[in-house]
């Protein structure tokens, strides 16, 4: 069955639920920082980027629930870098692995629609199964991306509670209705996932909630709302950024089984040998499965 046919008959949440059950709840990033390229003995140019990315495809394809390339590290090399990104996404798709492109798009109207069309659906030139989006121009601004994702069976991960210090200014702000901005985003995603089958692990629309935001989850009393939203919860920051899956289990409570921890440097540091990368990935995924279920 082709990827396009699968997407048309089965939503992103169903495919992600199956992948999490099969491979464990883990997302691994492809983040080709300049220093990582150097550490792998590769030049910091498009040729080094391609070698790095294709080794990751070989190591990760068919081995993990989701792979998350960070678009910025490809885009910085111009059109040649974007071509590598397309090749990377296509290679992972051919291996039967779901892709989440970290682009954090956020705009309004036809511009948001254009961003969505660039990445979602079988005709998209830089085609991923899901993308990250920013709701901070108002949740309603995401409507074009939400509509297209529903039409083509794709997923979205909406920024909600991030670990950067500046995020507090917006995400913890209190709206006129008494809810924080973060809570309003969680509630909006809950409405979108309301029809998720009860036997399905997660719905189609997810949230981005940093792995090191446990204190904020407690402060804003978000754990129950996160569980109720039914969406997959991408938790970046495991490993090199200080987050652990044990921290996630404690902070997310009843929502822990929805969490998709994201590890990048802690796995990529095992390279450049592909077998070593695969072993690091498998060990991280197995640990996440033991802790989060």
Helix (H, G, I), strand (E, B) or coil at 31: coil
Spatial neighbors of 245 by CB under 8 A, at least 6 apart, are 238, 261, 287, 288, 291, 292
Reply yes or no on whether 279 is catalytic. no
| Closest-CA residue to 85 (of 99, 100, 75) | 75
| Burial state string for 74-111 with b = 16 or more CB within 10 A and e = fewer than 16 | beebeeebbbbbeebbebbbeeebbbbbbbbbbbeeee
Beta bridge partners of 61: none
Given the residues 33, 93, 104, 172, select the one marked as catalytic.
Answer: 104
CB atoms inside a 10 Å sphere around CB 219 = 12
Positions annotated as catalytic residues are 104
């Amino acid at each position: 069955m082709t990827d396009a046919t699968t997407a048309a008959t089965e939503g992103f949440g169903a495919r992600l639920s199956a992948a999490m059950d099969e491979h464990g709840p883990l997302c691994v990033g492809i983040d080709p920082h300049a220093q990582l390229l150097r550490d792998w003995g590769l030049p910091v140019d498009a040729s080094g980027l391609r070698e790095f990315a294709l080794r990751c495809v070989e190591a990760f394809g068919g081995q993990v629930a989701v792979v998350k390339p960070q678009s910025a590290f490809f885009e910085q090399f111009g059109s040649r870098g974007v071509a590598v990104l397309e090749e990377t996404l296509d290679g992972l798709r051919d291996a039967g692995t779901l892709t989440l492109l970290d682009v954090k798009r956020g705009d309004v109207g036809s511009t948001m629609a254009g961003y969505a069309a660039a990445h979602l659906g079988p005709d998209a030139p830089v085609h991923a199964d899901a993308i990250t989006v920013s709701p901070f121009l108002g949740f309603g601004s995401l409507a074009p991306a939400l509509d297209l994702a529903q039409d083509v069976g794709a997923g979205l991960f909406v920024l909600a509670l991030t670990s950067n210090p500046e995020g507090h200014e917006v995400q913890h702000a209190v709206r006129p209705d008494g809810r924080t901005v973060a809570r309003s985003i969680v509630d909006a995603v809950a409405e979108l996932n309301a029809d998720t089958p009860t036997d399905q692990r997660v719905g189609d629309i997810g949230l981005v909630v940093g792995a090191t935001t446990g204190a904020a989850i407690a402060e804003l009393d978000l754990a129950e709302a996160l569980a109720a939203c039914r969406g997959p919860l991408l938790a970046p920051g495991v490993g090199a950024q200080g987050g652990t899956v044990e921290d996630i289990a404690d902070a997310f409570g009843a929502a822990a089984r929805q969490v998709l921890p994201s590890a990048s440097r802690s796995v990529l540091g095992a390279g450049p040998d592909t077998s070593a990368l695969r072993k690091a990935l498998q060990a991280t995924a197995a640990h996440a499965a033991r802790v989060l279920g």
